[in-house]
């Protein structure tokens, strides 16, 4: 039952069990050059896909995002010869990054308050009365990121891949090693919780 | 149509994956259910918000740092030796724990069933000891386990169908008591296949209440208890989470927990409690004297 990732067993990681469309020829050629130790080819891969992976890693764990991206590219470089071309390079990299994120135990970085330090009147106030309700959109996005990090990891990753990266349910199912219905269920649960989390800002 | 079903349909409609018939049902429900209409407006605002979440730009110099680190720092045949893997570092922090498998004494008159849904499994199952009777249901087939061990994976649902509490020992440090009539869903369980150590347990309380007993120890707790209103993360403690119709009630008997709820994170210490209402409002309990934790007693009895 445990995923085997590039021949290395990774606890908590997931394994794809779907075949994907055949990769474009130029992607396959790029990966073959990387597998042969071509540093320029790897640099091209990094320039093409760093932003994509950084967005996933940052939404998953902002404080470790750079480390997560570097680790993902390191694994891609080390195992470039295992890329078979049955999937898009982007899907292959997503899968690596997701496994790196899911196996990384990081702190959320969310500031914490002691309940005794909070004014009672504020605690029982209606949500629209809270200072948060006047937050600007940038603050709302930060709240969303905090809410994301409070989600169970699987829900968090489905939300990131679907809503922020725009992947199809089929791609998400393949990357996370689940069926499409499970991806939809995880997304619904994630949205319900995030909506509650952000209630003061969207009421 | 139930309100929760309507909200699910609304989420599906955002994906454009709703049939005309479903759309008609949704529209009808929306016209007749005032409370639901309000939730749907919020859902639409939420969807609009996440549509505008910007793509982040890459920090200056990150690409070059990756290239330097990987290509220029990996001329040897084993580049991984030169780069400290963060996942390896994380694994070093995993707790020394194993699910214990002895037959449990002090049986409680309980009925618990486990349903393994078709969600992904992360690693091997967690082998948990349960006090009382167990019923496992897989693909519609049920199996009863009395005072024994059960496998829990991501996707397992566990319910206590009796009026008496049931205890599930998740690790050597961590027990969870399900109150009568309660039900939880294990959303993710991650274990080390070699050592059996548990590094993540995400539990959602579908209904009723659970009490978590955790021995104080050096490693980070693997468990998160979530409800519709809050996520509770222990820091070596004994605490209770109740999912009620009116909201979520959290109390702490020992140690402390972090409660993640709408727009804030609260730290609850022993003797403190709070109610998170369905509308997001939070009310603090009056202070109570912390009770003695039964954690070690339970573990001792289970092994005797």
Listed by number, the residues of chain B in 152-191 with a beta carbon closer than 8 Å to a beta carbon of chain A are: 154-155, 187-188, 190-191
The residues in A 136-165 lying below 8 A from B, measured between CB atoms, are: 137, 140-141, 143-144, 146-147, 150-155, 163-164
Identify whether the C-beta of residue A169 lies closer than 8 Å to the C-beta of residue A155: no
Q: Do B123 and A102 touch (CB under 8 A)?
A: no
Angstrom distance (rounded) from CA A203 to CA B140: 42
Q: B122 vs A12: CB contact, 8 Å cut-off?
A: yes
Chain-chain contact of A177 with B202 (C-beta, under 8 angstroms):
no
Residue with tokens 């949500």: A127
For B162, other C-beta atoms within 10 Å of its C-beta total 17
What is the model's pLDDT at position A50?
93
Q: Do B123 and A196 touch (CB under 8 A)?
A: no
The reply to whether the predicted model has a pTM over 0.90 is no
**Rounded average pLDDT over A66-87:** 89
Higher pLDDT, B159 or B303: B159
Q: Is the pLDDT of residue B98 over 50?
A: no
Q: Given CB atoms, is B116 within the 8 Å cutoff of chain A?
A: no
Contact A11 B91 (CB under 8 A): yes
**pLDDT tier, B298 (very low <50, low <70, confident <90, very high otherwise):** very low
Contact A11 B190 (CB under 8 A): yes
What percentage of chain B carries pLDDT values higher than 90? 1
Tokens coding B124: 């091997």
For residue A97, give the nearest of A66, A118, A121, A127 by alpha carbon.
Answer: A66
A106 touches chain B (CB under 8 A): yes
Average pLDDT over residues B206-229: 74
Is the Cα dihedral B187, B192, B196, B198 positive or negative?
Answer: negative
* Helices and strands per DSSP (H, E), number in chain A: 10, 3
Collect all residues with Cβ–Cβ distance below 8 Å to A106 and sequence separation of at least 6. A61, A63, A64, B90
Greatest mean pLDDT among A92-96, B29-33, B269-273: A92-96
d(CA A127, CA A125): 6
- What residue segments make up the domains of chain B, in order of their start? 3-51, 111-303
The answer for residues whose C-beta is within 8 angstroms of residue A14's C-beta and 6 or more apart is A3, A98, A99, A102, A175, A176, A177, A178, B120, B122
Query: What mean pLDDT is predicted for residues B93-120?
Result: 28
Whole-number Cα distances in Å, A94 to A6, A114, A171: 14, 38, 10
**Token digits of residue A146:** 């905090």
pLDDT at A198: 81
Q: Is pLDDT of A6 > 70?
A: no
What pLDDT does residue A2 have?
39
Residue with tokens 């009796």: B162
Calculate the average pLDDT of chain A.
75
- pLDDT higher than 80, residue A156: yes
Report the alpha-carbon distance of residue B129 to residue B249 in Å, rounded: 27
Q: Which residues in chain B have Cβ-Cβ distances shorter than 8 Å to A1? A: 121, 123-125
CA distance, residue B48 to nearest chain A CA (Å): 10
Q: What is the pLDDT of residue B91?
A: 30
Q: Return the structure tokens found at B175.
A: 């027990």
Determine whether the interchain pair A112/B74 forms a contact, defined as Cβ–Cβ distance below 8 Å. Answer: no
Taking the C-alpha atoms of residue B244 and residue B69, their distance in angstroms, rounded to an integer, is 52
CB B242 within 8 A of CB B177: no
Q: Would you tell me which residues 79-98 of chain A have a C-beta closer than 8 angstroms to some C-beta of chain B?
A: none
> Cα distance from B45 to chain A (closest Cα, Å)?
6
Q: What is the mean pLDDT of residues A62-74?
A: 90
Q: Do A192 and B118 touch (CB under 8 A)?
A: no
Establish if A197 touches chain B: CB-CB under 8 angstroms.
yes
Q: Test A191 with B79 for CB contact under 8 angstroms.
A: no
B-chain residues near A68 (CB < 8 A): 86
What is the rounded end-to-end Cα distance, in angstroms, of chain A? 44
| Domain range A130-202, CATH class | mainly alpha
Does pLDDT of B240 surpass 60? yes
A140 versus A186: which is more confidently predicted? A186
ipTM higher than the 0.85 cut: no
Task: Evaluate if residue B104 carries a pLDDT over 50.
Answer: no
Six token digits for residue B156: 């397992």
- List phi, psi (to 5°) of B158: -125, 130
Which chain B residue has its CA at the smallest distance from A11's CA? B192
Residue A125 has pLDDT above 50, yes or no: no
The pLDDT of residue A94 is 93
B155 C-beta neighbours (distance < 10 Å), count: 22
Distance CA B97, CA B166 (A): 22
* CATH, domain range B111-303: 2.60.120.1440
Structure tokens that stand for A46 in this block: 């990094």
Q: Is the Cα dihedral A158, B50, B247, B33 positive or negative?
A: negative
Q: What is the mean pLDDT of residues B12-16?
A: 80
**CATH no. of A21-102:** 1.10.1740.10
Smallest CA-to-CA distance from A154 within B188, B117, B228, B203 is with B188
Going by the DSSP 8-state scheme, the letter that residue A197 receives in this structure is: H
For residue A169, pLDDT over 50 is answered with yes
Taking 60 as the threshold, does the pLDDT of residue A126 lie above it? no
- The shortest C-alpha distance from A200 to chain B (Å) reads 7
**Given B7, B83, B190, which is nearest A12 (Cβ)?**
B190
Question: What span, in angstroms and rounded, lies between the C-alpha atoms of B107 and B301?
Answer: 10
Residue B90 has pLDDT above 50, yes or no: no
Q: B140: pLDDT confidence band, cut at 50, 70 and 90?
A: low
**Residue B52, pLDDT score:** 80
Q: What is the CA radius of gyration of chain B?
A: 23
Give, as one character, the DSSP assignment of residue B261. E
How large is the average pLDDT for residues B29-44? 82
Cβ-contact A30, B46 below 8 angstroms: no
Helix (H) or strand (E) holding B186: strand B183-191
């Amino acid at each position: 039952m445990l995923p085997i990732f590039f021949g290395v067993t990774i606890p908590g990681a997931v394994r794809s069990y779907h075949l994907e469309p055949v990769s474009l020829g130029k992607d396959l050629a790029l990966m073959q050059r990387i597998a042969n130790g071509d540093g320029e080819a790897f640099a091209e891969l990094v320039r093409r896909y760093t932003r994509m992976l950084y967005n996933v890693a940052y939404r998953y764990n902002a404080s470790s995002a750079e480390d997560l991206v570097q680790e993902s590219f390191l694994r891609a470089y080390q195992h470039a010869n295992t890329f078979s071309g049955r999937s898009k390079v982007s899907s292959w990299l997503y899968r690596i990054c997701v496994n790196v994120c899911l196996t990384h135990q990081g702190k959320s970085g969310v500031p914490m308050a002691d309940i005794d330090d909070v004014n009672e009147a504020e605690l029982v106030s209606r949500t629209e009365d809270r200072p948060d309700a006047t937050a600007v959109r940038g603050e709302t996005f930060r709240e969303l990121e905090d809410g994301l990090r409070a989600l169970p990891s699987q829900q968090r990753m489905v939300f990131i891949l679907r809503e922020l990266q725009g992947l199809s349910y089929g791609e998400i199912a393949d990357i996370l090693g689940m069926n499409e219905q499970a991806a939809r269920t995880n997304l619904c649960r994630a949205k319900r919780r995030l909506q509650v989390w952000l209630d003061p800002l969207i009421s | 149509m139930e309100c929760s079903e309507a909200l699910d349909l609304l989420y599906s409609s955002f994906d454009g994956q709703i049939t005309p018939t479903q759309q008609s049902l949704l529209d009808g429900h929306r016209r007749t259910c005032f409370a639901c209409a309000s939730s749907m407006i919020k859902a639409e605002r939420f969807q609009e918000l996440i549509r505008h979440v910007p793509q982040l730009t890459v920090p200056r110099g990150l690409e070059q740092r990756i290239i330097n680190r990987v290509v220029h720092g990996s001329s040897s045949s084993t580049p991984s030796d030169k780069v400290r893997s963060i996942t390896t570092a994380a694994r070093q922090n995993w707790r020394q724990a194993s699910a214990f498998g002895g037959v449990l004494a002090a049986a409680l008159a309980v009925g618990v069933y486990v349903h393994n849904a078709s969600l992904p499994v992360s690693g091997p199952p967690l082998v948990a000891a349960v006090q009382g009777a167990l019923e496992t249901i897989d693909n519609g087939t049920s199996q009863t386990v009395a005072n024994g061990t059960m496998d829990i994976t991501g996707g397992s649902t566990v319910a206590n169908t009796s009026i008496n509490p049931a205890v599930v020992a998740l690790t050597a440090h961590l027990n969870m008591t399900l109150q009568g009539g309660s039900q939880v869903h294990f959303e993710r369980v991650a274990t080390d296949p070699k050592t059996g150590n548990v590094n993540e347990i995400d539990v959602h309380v579908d209904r009723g209440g659970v009490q978590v007993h955790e021995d104080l120890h050096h490693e980070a707790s693997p468990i998160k208890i979530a409800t519709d209103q809050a996520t509770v993360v222990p820091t070596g403690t004994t605490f209770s989470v109740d999912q009620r119709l009116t909201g979520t009630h959290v109390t702490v008997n020992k140690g402390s927990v972090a409660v993640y709820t709408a727009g804030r994170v609260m730290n609850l210490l022993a003797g403190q409690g709070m109610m998170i209402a369905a509308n997001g409002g939070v009310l603090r309990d009056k202070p109570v004297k912390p009770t003695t934790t039964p954690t070690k007693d339970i573990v001792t009895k289970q092994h005797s």
